[in-house]
Structure 1
Amino acid sequence: MESMSKNSSTESMQEPKSTKGKSKVANVVKGGMKRKFGVLDLILRIGAAVSTMAAAVIMGTLDVHLPFFTQFVQFEAQYNDLPPFQFFMFANGIACGFIVIVSLPLSIVCILRPYTAVRVRLFLVIFDTVVLTLVTSAAAAGADIVYLAHNGNSNTNWQAFCNQYTDFCQNSSSAVVASFIGVGFIIFLVTVSAISLRRKT
């Protein structure tokens, strides 16, 4: 009887050690996954910042002069001639600024302190959703004007002018493409943040 009691006591002492070992391994695995999500999040944010900045810079530097002009009339096209292009530039610039100033530092915090970053990730999901709405609306507005510039609209007597302002249309199209690339990055950001929260990271 004494030997049986000793065996049971030694087994009870050994079980917590094994469970502790398993929990440590699980924590290490979870910590590695959290950091991987954090690194992916940071890369996506850098991509979103670069693409929105490129869209804003390309649109903001649009200034095309036609080679034919008179002494009194000069044909010029700028982004601020069209209010949707103004909104496009400011929206992408604001989105890029907020990503660089606000979300990139918080993303680094999620990498350095993955276990205590649940509230930070929740804030980033809300922030990314707002930025996604802003950039999507800007890209859609810019795409609408670019389409009209290329094809015109006979119902409203809007004439296509890309055959004259070729550089203007090419650059504005490039800006719209860069903005939509930013939209894609931000969509992936929201997805990654949601998965991280689902995994309780």
Structure 2
Amino acid sequence: MSSTMPDTTQGSAGLCDLCGADALEQVYRPEGSARGLTVHLCTHCGLVQSLPRIDHAPRRAASVSSGADWGNVRYGKGFRAAVAVDRLLPRLSGLDRPRVLDVGASRGAFIEAFRTVMPQAEITAVEPDTRVIGAYGADPSVTTIRERIEEVRLPEAQFDIVHSCHTLEHLRSPADTMRDHWRVLKPGGLLFAEVPSLAFLDAPDIV
């Protein structure tokens, strides 16, 4: 996957969706993007976000977001799943049957890793790209929602854990989605969210 690294431009791409600062710096331009996407970093709060933002929820026969399938292979949601579980488990003492929401579940690496240590967990998976839904899609014990998270309205205070790995940067409004994640968490619930690190943009392939 090749990329171009243009001169950075700060303060000219609009306001950060998360903190509202006029501090977006263009850091990456994927080659061959059908929508002409560019990747920006907010130098105020650190959120990585794609522009132009999607103001609707597109339906495509192929991948939901250009490069998302490649990103799963290159940077590996699977590589991050075990780390997420290791960090969450110490905070789950006293929960015998936690309710878990996995946003952008992809091939189900986090679901598999979590169920290895807590097989009794009640899991809801949100994944709009039917090409990548793994075995969990046919598992009656997993509630699979085949929609974009922006289109899903879940009950308030429903989950003990909301997990989101390399998903927020693909959404039309990361801030709105984060607010909704907090809404569906139970009091004292855990939000585990990861976004890409810009340190790896020019790194060699790891797979």
By the TM > 0.5 criterion, same fold?
no
Q: Which has the higher contact order (CA 8 A, sep 6+)?
A: 1
- Shorter-chain TM band: under 0.3
Normalized per residue, the structure richer in strand is 2
TM-score (norm. length: structure 2): 0.23
TM-score (norm. length: structure 1): 0.24
